[in-house]
Amino acid sequence: MKKILVAYFSASGVTKKVAENMAKAANADLFEIAPEQPYTGADLNWMDKRSRSTLEMKDKNCRPAMAAKPDVSGYDVILVGFPVWWYREPSIIDTFMESADFTGKTVVPFCTSGGSGLGDSAKNMQFLASGAKVLDGKRFSSSASADELKKWAEKF
């Protein structure tokens, strides 16, 4: 049986809820990709061209610091959850992908969004963790059922 880690970043709590339910459904461990400097409401104001999140997403080389470094060594599959920002993964996910050795691991992104899909997230994540096998992921609504999450996670 494969050992699974659900790693997630959540700005507003929606992705956290889905990730926690995913971890329970998949009998997986849970790791929060928390920023060293938490995001404020003003930081997340995508309509403000000077907000922290807007500036981070404009700079493809931006790597916000994480509060803790992950240890993925004991896992075969890492499910990586995040909200969609600007049609892709938030910059802190890029930090996560560069923070550990994913060689030989299967990485599968999942996102929460009202309508946007993953965009190029899997491709971006594969580039950042070249030793991993990054699969296409899935978008979940905030009300995804435990059964839906379990069926999806069982694929891996």
pLDDT over threshold 80, residue 50: yes
pLDDT over threshold 80, residue 63: yes
The total number of structural domains in the chain stands at: 1
pLDDT over threshold 80, residue 153: yes
- Tell me the CATH number at 40: 3.40.50.360
**What is the full DSSP assignment across 71-116?**
--TT-SEEEEEEE-BTTB--HHHHHHHHSS--TT-EEEEEEE-SS-
Tokens of 151: 């069926």
Q: Which residues of 28-45 are buried (b: 16+ CB within 10 A; e: fewer)?
A: beebbbebeeebeeebbe
Q: How confident is the model at residue 33, as a pLDDT?
A: 98
pLDDT over threshold 90, residue 114: no
pLDDT over threshold 90, residue 23: yes
Average pLDDT, the chain: 93
Distance from C-alpha of 100 to C-alpha of 39, rounded to nearest angstrom: 23
pLDDT over threshold 80, residue 59: yes
Domain that holds residue 85: 4-153
pLDDT over threshold 90, residue 88: no
Q: What is the pTM of this model?
A: 0.93
